[in-house]
Structure 1
Amino acid sequence: MCIRVILARAIAQEPDILLLDEPTSALDIHHQIEVMELIKELNTEKGVTVVAVLHDLNLAARFCERLIMIQGGVVVADGTPAEVIVQENLKKLYVMKMFIWNNWIFEKPEVIMVRVLKSHQTKKSPSYPCDLRR
């Protein structure tokens, strides 16, 4: 509820740019999608530029036109979701077994997190994350 009030206040001011830090944190899935749809609507219908910090790769891929992946203050990747969410970039940030596939409903990449790899397993499993896109 609080994020919707904050967004309503921001919308009332008719901003050109909206800066958001984790706008979906602590929200259930229903409200995450609701908030992201509202933000996307502001961008597409009102022309508001939105810069948001998101840690959920799948939400970012689904709702954002451009992603900038940062680690330790350094830009790791910058581009469309399809350009950024690839094995090479995810390996730089995460020590996890994960798969990437193309979600045909939204035509966006989607990451499936399987499990955290222990450091010795990482060396034995260089093939992860795995790209399952066609």
Structure 2
Amino acid sequence: MKCLRVYATEDGETHFDEVDIPTVARQVHPEAAIFDVSARYASTHISFTRIPAGAGLVDWHTVPRRSLTVRLSGSAEYQTSDGDRRHVPTGGFILFEDTHGKGHRTLHSPEEQTVIWISLPQGLDRA
């Protein structure tokens, strides 16, 4: 399973990458189909955010801590300092690790949005 990632290099530039989240096929219930399930990852806290309709552009910023966000509604376009842009639709998720440097820009879709923020003490590539 792939997860979009934003990270900063030592020189402060931000970039996109993908983290491969390994999964194994597992029978989670005798009457259910086989699921692909990842390892468990530690988190320090979770929060829910309602972004109002018309929020628009949030200019260059970093995140206060490594966070995995899950978009329950709405979408956003993200831009890193190297000029790359990526669209994350409803249901998409992205790992933010740009806690320093130039950060990223976020352009929110026009409608109200709901996003879950999960703080991770380590990245998804390190269980």
TM-score (norm 2): 0.28
RCO higher in 1 or 2 (8 Å CA, sep ≥ 6)? 2
Q: Greater CA radius of gyration, 1 or 2?
A: 1
More helix by share: 1
